[in-house]
Amino acid sequence: MELRIAEPLHSRQLVEFYKSFTQQGPVELKIDRCQDFFSAYDIQSGDHLTYILTEKSKIEGTASFIIRETLINRVPTNIAFGRDLRISSNRNAILNWANHFQPVTDEVTKAYDTQFLFTVLSMSDVQALNTFVRPRNPKRRLPRYFLYRRFNLVSLHGRFPWASIPLPHLTVRKVTLADHDALQYYIIQKSFTRDLSTVWDSQSFTSKLERWKGLSLNDFWIALDKNNNIVGCTAPWSSRGIQEYIPLSYNLKAHNFRQFLKFGKIFGWTHSMTKPITRLNVEAPLEFKYLNFMFAENGDIFETLAWKIFDSLGKNEFLVYTQMRSDHIYRRPFNWVTAKMPYSIYCLLPPDKDPPAFLSPYNEIPCEMEPFFA
């Protein structure tokens, strides 16, 4: 078997290999990178690389690393994010990757001068948690996983009939050209208080937005107080054509939830979800929009923003955002029909390296994790 760095010519083959795996949870999903496997990484960073493990030109394993400069304790720090580790059931591939895992992370650290390596794991994926997080045999040189943050991927599907908008007189609208400077300043100030933030000045914000395909300042929504000061903002965005999530099946709980959404749609309470492949016999992706760059001064402002944006969606679309466990402002609104999936951010360290101070359980500074990046 051969381990090497993927090139653009491998994109089509990587798309098919990646699509052959399913994401477990209440909804079993297949992820489609569409035409360009690397386009999802281009949005996240200008520096990324993907390793592929091949046998007779057939891809048997892949792992990607996103290189980003982020804030840790308000200091710009060069880090790597491990993404999309996929290994086929070929036993030879599994054993080979176990031998390559630590050398590959060491190589990435040296080549890009990164100080730390992070990754995100779904708490619903028991197999991945058992494989990576459980205690290691000390004789094998494999990275250790240290829990950094827990967060929920929250979805908003509708509102109960007794729900009322929290701040009916709050001005919520889309951004105009006159708002650009004030919006940029607001996002920079709010981002600077979060760990793993990729925005801390005008240049970093502009660079991040320029990479984000299909998103511009004119797509943002803002909330304004009586003095026309920005007190909340977010940017709804769909990843259709870049990364699509195709439902294969729903477990009993998720199936009942989908049926309730169909019932609520009759009365205008909720938006429905895509049928699984077993019902359609065609691959139809979930229809939703991510809430990116999401900031608000309090929970009522956040809910009012979400309310206005939800009313602008199509009848089969819903909203998705991330909520850090310590960030109570963005907890699921009680009067909404919602769902959540738990995730965790882990810091990977070599077995001979002591954990840094920011991994202390007493560190409760909220961190940035855009929902598309999760």
Q: Report the distance separating Cα 258 and Cα 333, nearest Å.
A: 19
Q: What is the pLDDT of residue 271?
A: 97
How confident is the model over 158-172, as pLDDT tens digits?
A: 999 999 999 999 999
Evaluate whether 151 touches 324 at the Cβ level (below 8 Å).
Answer: yes
Structure tokens at 68: 């980003």
In this prediction, residue 139 carries a pLDDT of 63
What confidence score (pLDDT) does residue 20 get?
Answer: 93
C-alpha span between 48 and 15 (Å, rounded): 17
Angle between helices 180-191 and 202-211 (to 10 degrees): 100
Q: Which parts of the chain register pLDDT below 50? A: none
Q: In which element (H, E) is residue 60 found?
A: strand 58-72
The confidence score (pLDDT) of residue 279 equals: 65
Query: What pLDDT does residue 28 have?
Result: 92
Q: What is the structure's pLDDT at 277?
A: 85
- By CB atoms closer than 10 A (0-12, 13-18, 19+), residue 245 is middle
Q: Contact at 8 Å (CB) between 189 and 231? A: no
pLDDT at residue 221 in the model: 98
User: How many CA within 13 A on the CB side of residue 76?
Assistant: 8
> In the prediction, which pLDDT does 140 show?
66
Q: Would you state the pLDDT for residue 167?
A: 97
For residue 61, the model assigns a pLDDT of 92
Q: What is the pLDDT of residue 129?
A: 72
Domains, the chain, in order of start with CATH, read: 2-150+344-359 (3.40.630.30), 155-341 (3.40.630.30)
Within 10 angstroms of residue 190's Cβ, the number of other Cβ atoms is 20
For residue 344, the surrounding DSSP H or E stretch is strand 336-349
Residue 67 identity: I
Give pLDDT, residue 306: 97
Which pTM value belongs to this model? Answer: 0.93
* Mean of the per-residue pLDDT values of the chain: 92
Identify whether the C-beta of residue 275 lies closer than 8 Å to the C-beta of residue 141: no
Q: What is the pLDDT of residue 24?
A: 84
